[in-house]
């Protein structure tokens, strides 16, 4: 654990102890978001320009992301491109 300084917009500053691992990315964040979804599964969310509503628990979870292998990406100011391996 380490000590870090945090504050908002330079108006305040406080010192806190940092957790072992950050939980805003990776498997820790996935676990956190699944717990939040489970807690809010009976609440409604609006869809389709606000014309329809469904329960949050009915939204399917994505299992993985698609591969970017073989896709082209632009570089510079859009003048160059390269293929992803």
Q: What is the pLDDT of residues 34-50, one digit of tens each?
A: 898 899 999 999 988 88
Overall average pLDDT of the 46-63 stretch: 86
Q: How far apart are CA 44 and CA 11, in angstroms?
A: 37
Q: How far apart are CA 83 and CA 85, in angstroms?
A: 6
State pLDDT tens for residues 21-34: 667 788 888 888 88
Q: Are 70 and 83 in contact (CB under 8 A)?
A: yes
Q: Hey, where are the domains in the chain?
A: 1-58
Kindly report the pTM of this predicted structure: 0.46
Q: How far apart are CA 19 and CA 23, in angstroms?
A: 9
Q: How confident is the model at residue 82 (pLDDT cuts 50, 70, 90)?
A: very high
How much is the pLDDT for 20?
A: 67
How much is the pLDDT for 72?
A: 93
């Amino acid at each position: 654990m380490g000590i870090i300084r945090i504050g908002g917009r330079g108006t305040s500053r406080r010192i806190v102890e940092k957790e072992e691992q950050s939980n805003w990315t990776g498997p820790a964040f996935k676990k956190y978001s699944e717990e939040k979804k489970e807690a809010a599964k009976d609440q409604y969310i609006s869809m389709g320009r606000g014309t329809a509503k469904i329960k949050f628990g009915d939204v399917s979870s994505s299992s993985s992301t698609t591969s970017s292998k073989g896709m082209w990406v632009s570089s510079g100011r859009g003048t160059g491109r390269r293929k992803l391996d």
